[in-house]
Amino acid sequence: MRVVFPFSAIVGQTDMKLALLLAAVDRTLGGVMVFGDRGSGKTTAVRGLAALLPALPVIAGCRFNCEPDAPSEACAGVCHHTGVGQSPAPVVDLPLGATEDRVVGALDLERALTLGEKAFEPGLLARANRGFLYIDEVNLLEDHLVDLLLDVAQSGENVVEREGLSVRHPARFVLVGSGNPEEGELRPQLLDRFGLSVEVRTPETLADRVEVVKRRDAFDRDPAGFAKAWKNKDAAVRRKVAAAQTALSDIAVPDAMLEAGSRLCMAVGADGLRGELTLLRASRALAALEGRAAVTEGDLRRIAPMALRHRLRRGPLDEQASTTRIERAMDELLAA
């Protein structure tokens, strides 16, 4: 099994790590978009996240990661169930060059040619069900795949109608994307589907840069040994995420916090109502992650920039950065 760089060993990048953990606690957040410089640890953080996710109860042998008490109709003739067990939460990469058949699934050519049967071969969306779908350089993804992802992300279901096949299966996943804005813009329709957006930068202090190089060099020389040295810290984060998932439904959200979130969205001109919903869900997940019983104003302040910066309308003469606008609005509204 491939050894990945431990999540806990990543130096700095506090916002990125927090956003990923919040998405792991509450998968209804809508995913995470990570913008930033090349070589700043975006992909490393996403791959390290997989090791922190609690195992899922699954139907053994199911190729759609179905829940044990709700198997998909698509399983018939495709999966060979052998009981109920547990499996790591899937983190699936969607390559930029992937074909549509590879993403959504297609006719199983081997069975068609050898047995003369029409059978479905599940794609990447089936593998990502109940897990994470990761797209590196998502801003370079082809338009037809973007349209496909928008449909599935909205419905939570993948529908395949081709080659005489008619298949429908669940595809509920957390979408995680990374990209460098200098290499191309992300379509607004897809950007809006991400619940949180964070910006990462190359470390600016000498101490941080040296520590990054030391840890990466140690990992490259002995991946297994380095991962073992950080095993306990990763395990502690995993327990924290599992506890937060359990406590999430009991976290109280006072009406005053809901009103503050709506006032903030109105003040900064956030498009639609997804901003309010994301503020609510992410603040609740943060309270659960930190072991508190209710959402506070401090939660809103920490969450607002990553929940709203990608939802703001910006005029051609507006030189003020989105994050700065949000922070000023918070200072004015929450201090009142």
Structure tokens at 162: 């081709």
Q: In what order do the strands lie in the sheet with 196-200?
A: 91-93, 132-136, 174-179, 32-36, 196-200
140 close to 179: Cβ distance less than 8 angstroms: yes
Residue located via tokens 């209804």: 28
As a whole number of angstroms, the distance between CA 304 and CA 323 comes to 9
Structure tokens at 151: 């449909």
Residue located via tokens 């081997």: 110
Task: List active site positions.
Answer: 274
Residue 116, burial from CB neighbour count under 10 angstroms (0-12, 13-18, 19+): exposed
How far is C-alpha 163 from the geometric centre of its chain's CA atoms? 32
As a whole number of angstroms, the distance between CA 78 and CA 269 comes to 48
Residue located via tokens 């969607």: 94
As a whole number of angstroms, the distance between CA 279 and CA 252 comes to 14
Q: Render 253-268 in DSSP notation, one character per residue.
A: --HHHHHHHHHHHHHH
How far is C-alpha 83 from the geometric centre of its chain's CA atoms? 29
